Amino acid sequence: MVNESEIISLIQEAKKSEKERKFKESLELYITFKDIDVKKGFALNETIQLPKQMSEPAAVCVMASGDMGIKAKNANADQVIDADGINKLAENKRETRKLINKYDFFLADTKLMASVGKSLGQLLGPRGKMPTPVPFNAPIESFLSRFKSSIRVRVKNSLSLSCKIGDVEMNENDVASNASAIINAIEKKLPNGDKNIKKIMVKTTMGKAIKLEVKVRK
């Protein structure tokens, strides 16, 4: 399968072929699959914790009241919504859609999960963003830390996926570590593991894709 040295070469080639931009470009990983029948409902919706923090961590919204809500605010959650806030969102689908698009992940106190499901599930569910339940007295700080360093990889009835693995200013070894973590996690979810991976590509935001044909182990 692909090793990190091969991924580093892809990253270096992608950066080398890129013009100087006035903004910091992301580095993106693309994976194409093979020998999978998408008509059978092939889908992936994985939350993968990255070994190396990106310069812009994932945005996390916490749905909690009381002590958990206070702790979430103190732990720098991007937004904390209490029970009243959930009820208000239920009455305004436009605001709910804006909220869903704004955040990468949602966490919710288990006591509020039923309310979240009833009020917002119809919009959160199809986008694969139903909140992860946080049990009473669980360390919300640890949950936030884990999800801020994670990425969501979602595929539905498609033979390809793309996701951010870092940016052009990050250490290339760190970016390669993130890419490897994603590839390894995806392999485990494929019907035949790495045999279902056809091609891996790395590109900058505005650059061309640098391709690596995957050689399957005998």
pLDDT given at position 39:
84
189-194 contacts, C-beta under 8 A, 24 or more apart = 189/44, 189/46, 190/33, 190/36, 191/36, 192/35, 194/1
pLDDT given at position 60:
97
Alpha carbon 63 to chain centroid distance? 19
pLDDT given at position 144:
96
Over residues 149-171, the mean pLDDT reads 92
pTM attached to this predicted model: 0.86
Q: How far is CA 84 from CA 57, 66, 112, in A?
A: 28, 12, 11
Half-sphere exposure of 145 (CA within 13 A, CB side): 8
Least confident of 36-45, 100-109, 136-145, 181-190: 36-45
Query: Please, what are the domains in the chain?
Result: 4-55+151-213 (3.30.190.20), 60-148 (3.40.50.790)
C-alpha to C-alpha distance for 58 and 23, rounded to whole angstroms? 19
C-alpha to C-alpha distance for 203 and 168, rounded to whole angstroms? 10
Q: Which two tokens stand for residue 123?
A: 């919009």
Q: How far is CA 18 from CA 26, 78, 164, in A?
A: 12, 33, 17
- In the predicted model, is pLDDT for residue 217 greater than 70? no
Place of tokens 């959650």: 77
Which residue stretches of 30-171 are H helix? 66-74, 83-90, 93-102, 113-124, 140-148
- In the predicted model, is pLDDT for residue 2 greater than 90? no
